[in-house]
Amino acid sequence: MLSSQLHMAGHFLVPLLVALTFWRHQWWQATLVMWATMLVDIDHLFATPVFDPLRCSIGFHPLHQYWAIALYAVLCLVPKTRWVGVGLTIHMALDGLDCLKLL
């Protein structure tokens, strides 16, 4: 239970800290955009069960596939999509950390 609470807190705190570090003058807008990228978890609704603490999201859910993660990394390189790309990349990195605990 504590692990999932820390995971969720990371999804909110890490984007905030990144925004404050790299986009100090636009930190609020950058944070909101990166928080919005959590909608990528909508693909969990296609899984049965929807939530399984013993399942690794990376490579399992459609928007958590390696090809999608590569696309998210490319979005980081384009100024107009940078916040979205960074938010999605952070999200995948945090989900990937959960996968390491399952090994």
Prediction pTM value: 0.93
Q: Flag whether pLDDT at 103 surpasses 80.
A: no
Q: What is the mean pLDDT of the chain?
A: 94
Could you give the C-alpha distances from 2 to 38, 44, 79, in angstroms and in order?
Answer: 20, 20, 36
Q: What is the pLDDT of residues 74-96, one digit of tens each?
A: 999 999 999 999 999 999 999 99
Q: What is the pLDDT of residues 48-63, one digit of tens each?
A: 998 888 899 999 999 9
Domain containing residue 58: 2-102
Give the model's confidence band at 7: pLDDT under 50 very low, under 70 low, under 90 confident, else very high: confident
99, 57 Cβ separation under 8 angstroms: yes
Tell me what pLDDT residue 102 has: 64
Number of domains forming the structure of the chain: 1
> Distance between CA 55 and CA 72 in Å, rounded?
22
37, 91 Cβ separation under 8 angstroms: yes
